[in-house]
Each structure stands twice: as structure tokens, then as C-alpha cells.
Structure 1
Amino acid sequence: MALASSVLWLIAACAGGGEEPPRYRNVLFISMDTTRADHLGLYGNAEVKTPAIDALGAEGVVFDACMSAAATTLASHTSLLTGTYPLRHGVTRNGFQVSPENELLQEVLRDAGFYCAAVLGSAALTHKSGLDQGFDHYDDDFDLAAEAGGRDQDQRSAADVTERLLSHVDEVLQRRKSDQSVPDRMFLVAHYFDPHAPYAPGAEMAQRYGVEPMVGDFDDIEQAVQSQQARILRGPAAEGLTAAQANMPLGQQSVIQKGLNEPLVRRAAGVPTKMGRTLARLYAGEVTRTDDAIGTLLAGLAARGVLKDTLVVLTADHGETFWEHGNFWNHGLWVSQTDVHVPLILRFPDGRGAGRRVDTSVSGVDVMPTILEALGLVEARAGDVEPAHGRSLMPAIEGLALGDRATFSEATQPGPILEVAPDGATLPWGNARKPQAVRLGDWKLIDAGYLGLQQLFHLGRDPGERTDLLAPGASPLSEEARGALADLQLALSRWRASASPKTSAFDPSQIDTLRGLGYTEGQRK
């Protein structure tokens, strides 16, 4: 049955009584920007220290195979809060605007009697994006200004996000004492931006990870990008390339503006440079610093008596490729696991499902329907939902088999150059020509329309996506692989056919704040 809109979910629940389960009085939604699942302790990384998140996972349900809906901040967050993919909600990339035709999670919860508040870490989610619709309080007052030249975004530190959210909770709790109109249930959103480039965790954290105090700024990242690209496009490694391929300009902005080429995709060896290793350690420091802030937030809510009644959901909008694949030090150009494999943890205040691990592939679009069912705001649904919508994960939380279902992700770069058809015609949705991924079980297909290539991986045997079974010169596909490829291609075709995007347009007033990281490439010309 298609979950056409959250309005219908509420109607269905109210028709059946819609009683509020008091044990889940509040919801805390923690969003970590640019956070790879494989850089958290509970996902098997022994080097990156994330004790607060690890403890949260031990008390909750951990999903081991969650795929981000899109490899950029605004499009992914819109999917998280609508339960739909970009080909339905319409947001192509950062700088676009969320159509008011979308109904977001906070709007559903506000109508159900929740006070909704968000504290944001990055201007990618500014109120100009329209993501603020339905919030009673939307704090995007950033205290760290963009670099001169627009090479960074207005943002704030993880510690400040925590401090501002706890301070606002205090205000709400105080107001409740004298104003009975203030709802006694809260939906709280904390968005942490620190793991995003530039990687500047501070001297103490850098030293903890064996790096001399330094800032992993955009010049350092550019050096790492160009060094990796040169290994493929210059010198002996460039044998067999066309002149255009071998002579393409090096640097991150070149591929952000015009896209990757086949040699960058197929010939990336996955070997880091010295600068790359340093940047990875600084990134780890940023993740640990964010974990510290999350720990402080959880402890602060516990001290205020709020956490004991709160369902906690922690996830990330997307990951970050380092040296592993040809989209070096980027998260918008491709859809490898480094880009789209993200954490997902649900911790219930009554210990429901505590300690359970779920290895079925799920998606960020599943978060909204899961929260609504957990709160009793939607009846349990049997059968499949259409491919453009998420499904509730509550059966898995109860220990039941979830059943394999195709999950999808899409790249958002390059921007304007690919957002119209070659003949100038309108596309089914903004990212239709950009790389897309579909996963079903352990099999994953990447389809990059603008490059005319596909990649096939078996993630169970090849979690790092080093062996593309469709690469030129690869061995003939096994019967299993041929069947999987046909299933994946069919699922991707059906998903694309479900495109019906709501109206969204790029907001040129955001260019100055978003320029430089590839978070915007400007308007269509």
C-alpha cells in the first residue's frame, strides 16, 4: 500500500483512536553531517573514539546497512523528514527550496501536540531552504562566518549546538510552568556539522589522533585531491587515455563543475597520499568532537528529566569519500558506500529492542514512517509501499524479519550542467542524469547516466567496492550475478518511473554562503 502522505497516516491513526503512548513522550532527532558509518566505534572502527554514540547503540537498535537517500545535506534531510526520495520531494541539491506541498515530520508531530524545535549547525539548512516549516523554534543563527571568497559555509560548532538546544529546552520547561498552552511533548532536532570539511578539530583533538596542530583547510584538501587525480591522469598511469581525459584540469572544482570521467571512476586505486592520511586523522578528530557534544546533550537531557521519556534517533545525511574512489574528498559526485553508508540508531526509553542489530538494507526515507508508528500516529501497514516512499522499520525493532526491499541513493553533482536533458528538455527530476545507486540484499548497482557506465558490486564479499563485476575485462558474470543485475536494473527502472517531483527552485540568494564546497554550482544558465 502506498504511503502517499503523512496526512493520510494521521487520519488512519485518528480513526482508530490514536491514543498517545506516554512512554515515548518526546523525540530527539540527532543528525550528524558528513559522517561515514565506518568511522564510528559501534560500526567496527577501533581507531575513531565515539563512546557516547557507542553507548547509545548498546541501549538501542542499530541498523548496519542504512543508505542515505542523497549524497548532499539538504536533499538528504528533506528525505529524512518527508519519508520520500528527491524524485518525489523535489529538492535537487543545496540551495534549492523545500516545497510547502511537502508535509514534513515536524508538521505531523506539531499537529499531534508536540512542541518542535531545531538547532542547526550549517547554513545548508537555513530557513531560506524552507526546511523550517512546522517548527515552533528554528535556530539558524550561525556564529562562525564563511571564509572570505565564499570557500566555507556559515556554521557553528558541535558544542554550541548542544548548548543552544539545552538552553532552549530550559526555556520551554520554564514556560510550561506558567503557560498551559505550551505542549508537554517535544520534538527536538540537533544538527551537527563538524565532520564536514574543513577538518579543524582543534589542537588537542588533532594531537589525540597523532597529527601536529594544524587546520585541514581547503588548500590541504585541494592538494590531496590533485595528488590523487594526478596518479590516474598524469604520467605512466595515464597510458591509454584520450587527450581530453589526460589533460582535464586537476582539482576538486573541475569535477564539481563538469563531472568525473571514466578513468577517474575505474582507475582509482584506493591508496592514500601522506596528506590524505593526515586529513583522515583530522576528520576522525571532528567525529570524536561531535561525539563529545552528543554525550553532553544526552547527559543534559537526562539531568533535566527529559531523556527518560524520549525516543532518540541518530543518523547522518551522507558520508565522505577520501582516497577510496575517484570522487576524491567529496560527497556529492558519486554514490559509493563511502558516500552513502550512514549510521542509524533508534534508542527507546523503555529499552525496546536494546542491543539488536539489523543487517537488512534500509534507507533514510524509512526514518519518518518508523517514528510515526513508534509514537502511535500511524497504524502498522502490511505489504509493500511504492518505491518513492519509505516504510516503517518497527517490525525489525521487534525482532521480526523485515524483508529485502530495494533502497536507492543519488548524487547531486555536477549541478546545472546535468539538470536539463542534452536537448534542453525538462528531466523527470533534477538528478535524473546524475549517478544513482540501488541496493537489494548484498548486491548493489551504480548507474552513471552521464558517463554511460554501470558498476556492480557484491557488498558481502566486497564491502569496499574494489571489484566492479561489470568493469571492462572482468570475468563473465555468474548466474547469481546475472540474476541480481536484472533485479537491480528492474528496481531502478521502476523507481525512476515513479518520479513526480514537487516544485523546487534554486535560491540565488544562498550562493555566497554555499559557494566553494560544491554545495552549489550556481543557477542554471
Structure 2
Amino acid sequence: MLIQRAILTWWPTLAYKSVPPITIQLPPNLAAADKLPTPRGSLAGANVVLVTLDTTRADRLGCYGNQHIRTPNLDDLAARGVLFKHALAPNPSTLPSHASILTGLYPFHHGARANGIFQLADKQTTLAELLSQAGYATAAFLSATVLDSRYGLAQGFGHYDDDMSEGRELLWLGGLERTGDKTTDHALKWLRGNADQKFFMWVHLYDPHSPTTPPEPYASEYAELPYDGEIAFVDEQVGRLLFELDKLGLTDNTLVVVVGDHGEGLGQHKEWSHGFMLYDATLQVPMIMACGSRMKGVHIDQTVSSADVTPTVLSLLGLDVPNGLDGVDLASSVPSERALYFDNLEGLSEWGLAPLLGVYMAPFKYIWGPQPELYDLSTDPFETRDVIQTQAQTATRLKTQLQSFFGQDLAAAAFAAPTQQLSSDELHKLQALGYAGAGLGNQPPTTPLPDPKTHMDLVLRVEMALMRGDQGSPADAAAALEKLAAKHPDVLAVYRNLGDVYRQMGEYEKARGAYEQCRKLRPDLP
């Protein structure tokens, strides 16, 4: 059945009214635990289904405390499995975060540090490769071009379905997103044909990513916040996967891992999307593990990383965990005193904004950048009170901790030269999904770059202009961007996006002029 989707206008109309974050409240029937209830090797021979939820905040799911959404399938999975209260992604962008999930390494170590211009090198070992070596049939089903095979994540998968030919068209840029129902259709077909052997299946669901256009009945039910409607739609697809496992008699012998790749700003810290800053709004993700009746319903309160997925899965299956991983085996223990690291190059590659690095050591998070910040998440979970002035010693200690991981020269560590060269057609496909990837030069910037915090209002205005294009009004998008270019003549991203809009309108001379202005502003870009 063809699901019709309409472009909704909620995002621009809510432009300066952020969606209030929800304090995490876990289901009362979940018992507290300090490690997984299933020890190493207890799931030997089990199948593995990994579901990654793109752009999904933990606090928008019912099992994490959102009382205004229906996510019955994820809620049920959490009720009979393990729910991680505070799981953090190591990067607020799709490719870096997924590479961490599949390798157990932070982006600084696996090298795929931003969308579109980086790839996971062949020298890295993925979970799919290790399970394939252990005799598993492996398959992946992707929902967006940003994860297609050229970026290195296909390593180890016998079947890698990244065909977006049946994807929906994103207005004025062309479509390269496959909706979750279609991706799930392909996954179910493969599952039915491989149910008689050990398998590892990865399903990527992209729907909560902007533009948020849920199908009915979710469009009507969640008209005030279609982002929640997309999550409810994704929950339905997860339910279809779980139902099929049950129908095939595989539920008690299939480890299901559901994890978000990153969150979404929804207006917190003036960030509506993601990829610019390192607050929990875009780093905290849902993370659930279950295996039928074999993992009793518990919650783990200690902070964990999505990079823990690979070592934990290997441990539960009784397979060797490679040395040198950044992630830890949560089946053995969940460290209460542990440093978790983050980085972010997306603002640099797309906007020429300063890259950021961060470290979390309970209860503090330190963010390094042009204006370093420090937050005490035990008393300020939404990071609204920067305490760096009153907690100078703590800030110094965490900066030293950050340097112990990234090296003494944090500025050099925050930069990385691209590893993937794109054709103009490939770049266009990524731009259609909102991954502009203007590029990085081959050398670190020689002049100070703007702090992302200072540009969030402008980012919002550019994103609102592009949303007008998604609503079918590219001329309005161009007019809005022209006004922004006149007001901000030194901002690369304004001209780059204006050039993209002109090009889609067929105004090629105007597009060329906008791109030439980009070249004048940043001659170091490839």
C-alpha cells in the first residue's frame, strides 16, 4: 500500500518555541540493575537484530516518560528486556554515530567523523565482519543515502540494501529517503528467507529526521508535533519486525538491540536540528536490549555509550571481543566511573563553524570549543546553567581528561581532513537529505572559527528558508536566503544553500554567482 505523506508546516510556525524536554521517567515495573541480567556467553548461537533509530531522542518514547505518544512495541520490548536510562551517542551525526555502533570505536579512532566527506576505512573491523566469520548470515537495510555502501559500513554484510530508487522525493531537491515501511518490507522478506540459519540483520529507520511528514493516522494524531508522529510510525515498523520473529518462532533465540544514532534539538539551546553542538538534546538516545523471555525487565541507570553495542553483543554471544575498543562489555559490568567522549565536525564541514570536543564524567560534562562550557547533569540535566566559572578546578580536570584521549593539541584533534571524495551527483543526493557537506580543507583552519552557539539563530533562519522549499515554494526559499545573504555577507552556508536553491530552480547563472561567493569566502575548500 502506498502511504501518502504531506509536507507539514509545524516546524517554521514553532520556530522560536522550543519543545520542552521531558524528565526521564522509567516504567515502575523495571527493576534497577548494575549490569545485564544475562552473563557473557548466555546467548551463544542466538540471532541478532539491530534496529537503529535515526534522529530519535530518548525522552520522546513512552518507555522513557513521554505520556503523549503511543510507542507500544518499543515499550513492550523495554518491559521484557533492558532499558538504558542515560545512553549517549559519541557524535550527533548519522555516519559517525553508526560507525561507532558497528565498530565499538569513537569517531576519533574509527575515522568516519562527519557525513558525506568521510568513510569508514577497510582496516576497521565491524560487528558484521566478526559475526560473518562466526558463521552468521548478514544483511543490512538502509533508509537514507547518507549510509550507502560508499561510506564503508557495508563491510561484513552479505546483503547491503541501500537502493533508494523507491524512496520518496523531498520537494525541490529530489528524494533519497526510503520510508520505514518500505525498508521494513525488504527486511521482512530477507528474514523469512533466512530464518533457518543464524543471522545478523541491521534495519535503519530514518523517518524522524527532518522533514517530519508522518503518514496517517499519525499525521492527524500528532499534528502539533509531527516529530512524535514519525517516532510512533517507526514504532509500528519495529512492531512488524518483532511480530515476524514471533511468528517464525525466533523470539527467544534472537537478541534485539534498538538504539538511536543521535537526538534532535527541537529548539533546546536554539538548535532545532542536530550536528552543531554537543548537548544531551542531540546526544542522548534510546537504547534497549531484549531476547524474548531470556532478559528480564530491568533498567540500568549508569551512563553508557552506543559504542558499547558491539562489545556487548559479542560478549553475550560468547564470541571474542577485540582488544582496543572504546566501548565496553555491558554484560560483564557497567562502570560507574567512566569517561565518555564526544566530537563534532558537522558544523565545520557545513557552515565553517568551530568543531567541538566533549567529555562526560559523572556528573559533569565539559565541552571544549571557542567558549568552553561545564554542566552538572545531576542538578541540571537539560544543561541550562554553565558552571565553568564557579567550578574552575573541575573544568581543568575534565579538560585534562579530554587531552588524555584526544591529545594535548585539542585544536588539531578537532580537525580531520576528508577521506571520501564525492561527485557532484553524489553531493546533490546528500544535499537532498540535508547533509550539505560543503567540505573541509586539507589543513586545519588558520583563523579562529565562530562558536556554533553564536550562529543558531542564523542556522534556524536558513533551515526555515529551506523548509519553504520543501513545502513547494523554492522561490520563497530563494527570496528568504537572498535577504539573509544581504544581512550576513560573510557566512558561507547562506550562499551555498542559496546556490543550491537557484540550481533547483534552473537559475544556473545565479547559482554560479552564489557558489563563486562561497569560493571567495573559503578558498581553502575543495
Separation of aligned partners in 2, 1:409 and 1:20: 30
Q: Of residues 469, 485, 499 in structure 1, which corresponds to 2:395?
A: 485
Q: Does 1:46 align with 2:67?
A: yes
1:60-459 equivalences in 2 (<5 Å): 60-95=81-116, 96-142=118-164, 143-147=166-170, 149-150=172-173, 153-173=175-195, 184-209=197-222, 211=223, 278=224, 281-327=225-271, 329-352=272-295, 354-378=296-320, 389-396=326-333, 402-416=335-349, 434-448=355-369, 452-459=370-377
Gaps of 5+ in 2: 1-39, 440-524
| Cα pair distance change 1:136/1:20, threshold 3 Å | farther
Residue 299 of structure 1: SS of its match in structure 2? Answer: helix
Quote how far apart the aligned CAs of 1:48 are: 2.0
Q: Does 1:507 align with 2:450?
A: no
AA matched with 2:307: V
Residue 108 of structure 1: SS of its match in structure 2? Answer: helix
AA matched with 1:36: R
Name the residue aligned to 1:55.
Answer: 76
Separation of aligned partners in 1, 2:159 and 2:396: 47
- Show CA shifts across 1:366-404 (max 9, x none): 11111111111126x9xxx87x711111134xxxx6332
Residue 269 of structure 2: SS of its match in structure 1? Answer: coil
C-alpha contact (below 8 Å) 1:72/1:519 kept by paired residues: no
AA matched with 1:333: F
| Cα pair distance change 1:483/1:153, threshold 3 Å | farther
Quote how far apart the aligned CAs of 1:92 are: 2.0
Residue 190 of structure 1: SS of its match in structure 2? Answer: strand
Residue 117 of structure 1: SS of its match in structure 2? Answer: strand
Residue 465 of structure 1: SS of its match in structure 2? Answer: coil
| Cα pair distance change 1:484/1:359, threshold 3 Å | farther
Separation of aligned partners in 2, 1:313 and 1:199: 24
| Cα pair distance change 1:93/1:169, threshold 3 Å | same
Residue 85 of structure 2: SS of its match in structure 1? Answer: strand
Residue 392 of structure 1: SS of its match in structure 2? Answer: coil
Residue 307 of structure 2: SS of its match in structure 1? Answer: helix
Quote how far apart the aligned CAs of 1:88 are: 1.0
AA matched with 1:338: A
- Show CA shifts across 1:398-446 (max 9, x none): xxx6332111222232234788xxxxxxxxxxx9x51222111121111
Separation of aligned partners in 2, 1:418 and 1:85: 23
AA matched with 2:335: L
Separation of aligned partners in 2, 1:393 and 1:193: 27
Quote how far apart the aligned CAs of 1:65 are: 1.1
Name the residue aligned to 1:217.
Answer: none
C-alpha contact (below 8 Å) 1:416/1:521 kept by paired residues: yes
Quote how far apart the aligned CAs of 1:458 are: 1.1
Residue 100 of structure 2: SS of its match in structure 1? Answer: helix
Indicate the larger mover: 79-88 or 406-415: 406-415
Quote how far apart the aligned CAs of 1:171 are: 2.1
Separation of aligned partners in 1, 2:256 and 2:284: 20
AA matched with 1:447: W
C-alpha contact (below 8 Å) 1:99/1:502 kept by paired residues: no
Name the residue aligned to 2:494.
Answer: none
AA matched with 1:107: E
Quote how far apart the aligned CAs of 1:308 are: 2.0
Separation of aligned partners in 1, 2:270 and 2:341: 20
Quote how far apart the aligned CAs of 1:351 are: 2.2
Quote how far apart the aligned CAs of 1:57 are: 0.7
Name the residue aligned to 1:428.
Answer: none
Quote how far apart the aligned CAs of 1:522 are: 2.7
C-alpha contact (below 8 Å) 1:97/1:507 kept by paired residues: no
Residue 395 of structure 1: SS of its match in structure 2? Answer: coil
Residue 439 of structure 1: SS of its match in structure 2? Answer: strand
Name the residue aligned to 1:4.
Answer: none
Separation of aligned partners in 2, 1:359 and 1:482: 27
Please, what is the CA RMSD of the aligned residues? 2.5
TM-score by length of 1: 0.70
Q: Does 1:33 align with 2:54?
A: yes
AA matched with 2:122: P
AA matched with 1:334: M
Q: Which runs of 4+ in 1 moved over 4 A?
A: 19-24, 498-503
Residue 414 of structure 1: SS of its match in structure 2? Answer: helix
Indicate the larger mover: 129-138 or 491-500: 491-500
Separation of aligned partners in 2, 1:501 and 1:24: 39
Separation of aligned partners in 2, 1:188 and 1:325: 36
Separation of aligned partners in 1, 2:199 and 2:112: 27
C-alpha contact (below 8 Å) 1:41/1:54 kept by paired residues: yes
Separation of aligned partners in 2, 1:323 and 1:83: 30
Separation of aligned partners in 2, 1:205 and 1:26: 32
Name the residue aligned to 1:275.
Answer: none
C-alpha contact (below 8 Å) 2:113/2:344 kept by paired residues: no
TM-score by length of 2: 0.70
Name the residue aligned to 1:267.
Answer: none
Separation of aligned partners in 2, 1:501 and 1:107: 26
Quote how far apart the aligned CAs of 1:484 are: 3.2
| Cα pair distance change 1:334/1:364, threshold 3 Å | same
Quote how far apart the aligned CAs of 1:517 are: 5.0
Gaps of 5+ in 1: 1-18, 177-183, 212-277, 420-430, 471-475
Separation of aligned partners in 1, 2:329 and 2:299: 16
- Show CA shifts across 1:437-486 (max 9, x none): 211112111122xxx1011111121111111113xxxxx52xxx445323
Residue 165 of structure 1: SS of its match in structure 2? Answer: helix
Separation of aligned partners in 2, 1:503 and 1:199: 30
Residue 107 of structure 1: SS of its match in structure 2? Answer: helix
Separation of aligned partners in 2, 1:320 and 1:490: 29
Separation of aligned partners in 1, 2:418 and 2:435: 20
C-alpha contact (below 8 Å) 2:154/2:160 kept by paired residues: yes
Name the residue aligned to 2:475.
Answer: none
Name the residue aligned to 2:515.
Answer: none
C-alpha contact (below 8 Å) 2:47/2:255 kept by paired residues: yes
Quote how far apart the aligned CAs of 1:506 are: 3.8
Separation of aligned partners in 2, 1:163 and 1:332: 30
C-alpha contact (below 8 Å) 1:313/1:347 kept by paired residues: yes
Separation of aligned partners in 1, 2:100 and 2:402: 18
